[in-house]
Structure 1
Amino acid sequence: MTHPPQVPFGFWQTDHMRDAFAMWHMGRVIAAYRAHPYHGRTLPQELVANWLGLTQAQLSRLEKGPAPEYLSKLIRWAQVLGIPADLLWFKLPGTSAATLDNVKRQDFLRAALGVTVTGAAAPLMDLLDTIQPTPVPSTVGATEIEQIRRTAHEFSTWDHVYGGGLVREAVSAQLRYAVSLLNTRCPDHHRAELHSAVGFLGHTAGFMAFDVYAHADARSMFRLAWTCAEEANNWHLRGKVLSSIARQAIWCGNPDDGLTYIELAMVRSDRLTFTERAMLQSARARALAKLHRVEEAMWAIGQADEAFSKASPLNDPPWMSYYDAAQHSGDTGHALFDLAVQGRFATEAKQRLQAAVDGHTDTYVRSRAISGIKLASLAMATGDPQEAAVFGTAALVDAGHIRSRRAADDLRELACLAKQHRDVVEVDELRSRIDTVVAAV
């Protein structure tokens, strides 16, 4: 390439790019640009340096050294790469100039905060070093336990709506504080409740980490939640945590391990609600489908359907409120997907995924997006590209509002399946839109 490629607007909106802009350092911005997933591979320094009128050695020093301050060079490099003016910390020619009052105000704030044009993020982070941690109470009782439960519920709600990437740091900080309460005095009759509440929060944090592919963090947090469930002798929380551990294992390509965790969760399933049994049987079906054990997978789906037909939300613990008819259709539809792309039960899979898309409310945007993407992929794989384009376009609306690596990977799978239908105009348009959304997700 002799010139930089035209990139979609979403290219500049990723967290990695925004972090680079926040440093007011053009070298860091260029480094982030080169490593952007949109390109498919990291662009060589030699190539980008040639675009910018530099040598490879000069670009290397620019990326690693102090922030360049020559405005004429900053402007030229920004124009060459096509960086939107509103993301820059300096004005491009032709953009409206800042008023004198605004300039003076910005100078005053920079002086007061110790922030210079060579880097805003570091001094601002330094200001947080003086913040005192929240004091741990001498005794933990019903009030503190309820606060942990409410915190876990609120973060879980955010996770369903926006994906795991948005507030993961916040929930991790809350989890550290909650765990510290386990070492505080607590009346014996509240001790099991405290462990259950901390386990609920630990599971919420773990699932957020899983959603953004921080898999080591997710495993640690799930283990913490599992330990809390065992300490509290809480079979309901234990089942939920083991279900999520299984889902992560299946997602990471270890369906046999996932099946083991599900079997462990099903021990004394008579102590679980029918909703929980449906959830576990759906996960079992997904693992069995990945293992190509077709008859057993279909039997598990039948067991899940039977259990869900007896479900009563009034009997379920608070963390199971998400598992409604739409979620059940989506989970069993996902299990059938792996069989459907091989020519088995495609109609049934499509009906269940469609029911999930239709049934999910805005409270569960991520689930609706993922089921919609799977529905589009199924249509694409089974030879109906026009219908797939309709499903995919609708799913992209939801996907554009969340930060989920799982959703992004499902979109990449859809784009890959779309390559076999290059001659369909609607499919080409869909692939272009997928590239834009994936860059932002």
Structure 2
Amino acid sequence: MTHANCPRCGGRLARDNDTGRCTPCQAAERDRLSAPPVVPANFWDHKPVRLALAERHLGRVIRAYRCHPYHGRVALPQSVVAGWLGITQAQLSRVENGPPLVHLDRLAHWAQLLGIPASNLWFRLPGQHRWVDDASLSDGEMVGARGDDQVSERGDQAAVAVNVEQAPSQGGGVTDRRRFNVLAALAGLAAGGHTYLLPGPSAEVPGSIGMEQVRLAGSLVDDLRRVDAAVGADLLCDVAMQAHTRLSAWAARATCSREVGDALQSALADLSIEAAWLAIDADRRSEARPYLHEAITRARIADDPQAEVRALTHLSLLIRESQPGESLHCAEAALRISAGWATPRLTTLLHLRRAHAYAVLRDASGFSREMTKARRELDRGPHEDDQGFVHFVNVQELSGIEGLSYLALGRPERAAQSLRSIAANPSPAHRRNRVYYTVRLSEAVCQQGDVNEAARVALDVLPAVRQIKSKRVSQHLADVRRNLAAPRQATATTRQFVDAHDQAVSL
């Protein structure tokens, strides 16, 4: 016998409903197993949640979140919430009951997944940098008045008003919006205390370096990553390179102790790696390699194997198409250096690097062997010692590399199958990767000969490509456009995409 009403929402059940819950509640129950629900604004006003936020303890915030009355009479199981966060139930228990988390990447990532409003947090989320409002600037300080690479000199760089992510909707044309976003990036970095590392007039550079300055310089990499997420590598690449130049020059002139010197070398290695990544994503690949070579050298000087592995991992990515054999060696060296301390995610990434390099070499057996190893490592799950740069390594990334590898092997049908699985089960925390792999899906479908489907996929992803401002992604979409514009490919659908692409590029 069925209940007359749904016990969760109180709604009337249909006569033939023998599940005990209404259809919307059944859907909500399914959805909560895969991703956090969208909660109302007053959710965060619940007293236990407010107290946990006031204590600045994200573990207690998560516990209060799980036990919130919004979820029903029974609290959300730790196993469900742990699945959202990419950790095990035992790890979540330690997070909830142990000391407060201090790792900023993890704090920001989990806060975003749960949808905690930025105004309730005690730390900044990616893209939360602020900038000086146009209305408060004089004519001589207006956006772009001193060029894309300079920031207005105001007494208080942190006096800011608008979120960076809102910047594309401001201003007149595209040029103004780009200047606007660069200003936002610079103002955000300056607000973090990095004024003397930025282009344009800056504060006086200290003559000596202490550990406090090294920590500040090291946090610059975190700030660059956050601004990159908001405005894209195309706009930030030069900023990172100029900051690297300033920090390197400062390090060469200033005095410091041996301990501080080693820490500074590690900080410079990290900044070099970040500058290289931004160059890769901005499709300025020739500029990336010197930064990675420098990072490897500095990491060895500082005896910092983690930084060396990060640099080798990025170098393997950079040269996998042009020098796949050397890419293999870089990934192998990173595996050797990290033996004994590498987490499963890092090992997965290195096997994926090798898998794609083997595919470019047309070595199908080598590709298959490395993909098997990558899957085995990924199945071991996340680890509390995961470095920030491997957080994107998940099932979707594995499917993406598998798809790219099948493209390199000349098997577009298998490539399309792998890449479609990403669209069917997207990772909300890694939008740029999702957009990139959708563009490559269009390329795979085009190679299969289905030009109309390729055009539809490309047309759907076009607005997102424009928003993320990654020249690497834009260039692949331009390649799809060039193929679909060929006279032999002309259909109403392909012409619609080509026209939309050309119009978007001209704006």
TM-score above 0.5:
yes
How far apart are 1:196 and its partner, in Å? 2.3
**SS of equivalent residue, structure 2 residue 235:** coil
Aligned to 2:480: 414
Aligned to 1:247: 317
2:343 is aligned with 1:276: no
Aligned to 2:496: 429
Aligned to 1:383: 449
Aligned to 2:361: 291
Aligned to 2:288: 218
User: Which of 411, 432, 437 is matched with 1:343 structurally?
Assistant: 411
Are the structure 2 counterparts of residues 367 and 222 from structure 1 closer, same or farther at C-alpha, using a change threshold of 3 Å? same
Are the structure 2 counterparts of residues 156 and 121 from structure 1 closer, same or farther at C-alpha, using a change threshold of 3 Å? closer
Are 2:451 and 2:489, in contact at CA under 8 Å, matched by a contact in 1? no
2:461 is aligned with 1:395: yes
Partners of 2:265 and 2:426 in 1: how far apart? 31
Are the structure 2 counterparts of residues 146 and 237 from structure 1 closer, same or farther at C-alpha, using a change threshold of 3 Å? same
Are the structure 2 counterparts of residues 181 and 404 from structure 1 closer, same or farther at C-alpha, using a change threshold of 3 Å? same
After alignment, is 241-250 or 259-268 more displaced? 259-268
**SS of equivalent residue, structure 1 residue 292:** coil
2:324 is aligned with 1:261: no
Aligned to 2:273: 203
How far apart are 1:373 and its partner, in Å? 0.4
Partners of 1:355 and 1:203 in 2: how far apart? 30
Q: TM-score, normalised by structure 1?
A: 0.63
How far apart are 1:354 and its partner, in Å? 2.8
Matches within 5 A, 1:14-29: none
**SS of equivalent residue, structure 1 residue 250:** coil
Are 2:348 and 2:393, in contact at CA under 8 Å, matched by a contact in 1? no
Are 1:282 and 1:335, in contact at CA under 8 Å, matched by a contact in 2? no
Partners of 1:298 and 1:437 in 2: how far apart? 39
**SS of equivalent residue, structure 2 residue 346:** helix
How far apart are 1:180 and its partner, in Å? 4.2
Are the structure 2 counterparts of residues 209 and 408 from structure 1 closer, same or farther at C-alpha, using a change threshold of 3 Å? same
Partners of 2:484 and 2:353 in 1: how far apart? 28
After alignment, is 175-184 or 396-405 more displaced? 175-184
Partners of 1:378 and 1:303 in 2: how far apart? 25
Q: Which amino acid aligns with 1:395?
A: V
How far apart are 1:131 and its partner, in Å? 2.6
Are the structure 2 counterparts of residues 355 and 155 from structure 1 closer, same or farther at C-alpha, using a change threshold of 3 Å? farther
Higher relative contact order (CA 8 A, sep 6+): 1
Partners of 1:254 and 1:209 in 2: how far apart? 18
How far apart are 1:333 and its partner, in Å? 2.5
Are 1:277 and 1:307, in contact at CA under 8 Å, matched by a contact in 2? yes
**SS of equivalent residue, structure 1 residue 315:** coil
Are the structure 2 counterparts of residues 130 and 198 from structure 1 closer, same or farther at C-alpha, using a change threshold of 3 Å? closer
Partners of 1:250 and 1:393 in 2: how far apart? 29
After alignment, is 169-178 or 419-428 more displaced? 419-428
Q: Which amino acid aligns with 2:376?
A: E
How far apart are 1:379 and its partner, in Å? 1.3
How far apart are 1:247 and its partner, in Å? 1.8
Matches within 5 A, 1:329-368: 329-339=399-409, 342-343=410-411, 346-347=413-414, 349-357=415-423, 364-368=430-434
Partners of 2:423 and 2:454 in 1: how far apart? 14
How far apart are 1:324 and its partner, in Å? 3.3
**SS of equivalent residue, structure 2 residue 283:** coil
Q: TM-score, normalised by structure 2?
A: 0.56
2:435 is aligned with 1:369: yes
Partners of 2:248 and 2:312 in 1: how far apart? 20
Q: Which amino acid aligns with 1:426?
A: T
Are 2:484 and 2:490, in contact at CA under 8 Å, matched by a contact in 1? no
Are the structure 2 counterparts of residues 325 and 182 from structure 1 closer, same or farther at C-alpha, using a change threshold of 3 Å? farther
* 1:82-132 CA-partner distances (Å, limit 9, x unpaired): xxxxxxxxxxxxxxxxxxxxxxxxxx968x99xxxxxx768x98x999834
Are the structure 2 counterparts of residues 372 and 287 from structure 1 closer, same or farther at C-alpha, using a change threshold of 3 Å? same
Are 1:411 and 1:438, in contact at CA under 8 Å, matched by a contact in 2? no
Q: Which amino acid aligns with 2:208?
A: S
Partners of 2:231 and 2:205 in 1: how far apart? 30
Matches within 5 A, 1:27-106: none
Are 2:316 and 2:331, in contact at CA under 8 Å, matched by a contact in 1? yes
Are 2:247 and 2:268, in contact at CA under 8 Å, matched by a contact in 1? yes
Aligned to 1:312: 382
**SS of equivalent residue, structure 2 residue 209:** coil
Q: Which amino acid aligns with 1:404?
A: S
Are the structure 2 counterparts of residues 317 and 178 from structure 1 closer, same or farther at C-alpha, using a change threshold of 3 Å? farther
Q: Which amino acid aligns with 1:429?
A: Q
Are 2:209 and 2:260, in contact at CA under 8 Å, matched by a contact in 1? no
Alignment gaps of 5+ in structure 1 = 1-107, 114-119
Are 2:299 and 2:308, in contact at CA under 8 Å, matched by a contact in 1? yes
Aligned to 2:239: 170
How far apart are 1:203 and its partner, in Å? 0.6
* 1:129-178 CA-partner distances (Å, limit 9, x unpaired): 9834541352321x333323322122123334543211222222322333
Alignment gaps of 5+ in structure 2 = 1-137, 154-198
Partners of 1:304 and 1:262 in 2: how far apart? 13
Partners of 1:231 and 1:165 in 2: how far apart? 31
Q: Which amino acid aligns with 1:219?
A: R
Partners of 1:359 and 1:224 in 2: how far apart? 38
Partners of 1:309 and 1:405 in 2: how far apart? 33
How far apart are 1:273 and its partner, in Å? 2.0
How far apart are 1:320 and its partner, in Å? 2.3
Are 1:240 and 1:276, in contact at CA under 8 Å, matched by a contact in 2? no
* 1:175-204 CA-partner distances (Å, limit 9, x unpaired): 233334544444544544432222112111
Are 1:262 and 1:283, in contact at CA under 8 Å, matched by a contact in 2? yes
Q: Which amino acid aligns with 1:256?
A: G
After alignment, is 173-182 or 203-212 more displaced? 173-182
Q: Which amino acid aligns with 1:350?
A: A
After alignment, is 221-230 or 361-370 more displaced? 361-370
Question: Among the aligned pairs, what percent are the same residue?
Answer: 18
Partners of 1:376 and 1:287 in 2: how far apart? 22
Figure out how many residues of one structure are paired with residues of the other and give that number.
Answer: 320
**SS of equivalent residue, structure 2 residue 467:** coil
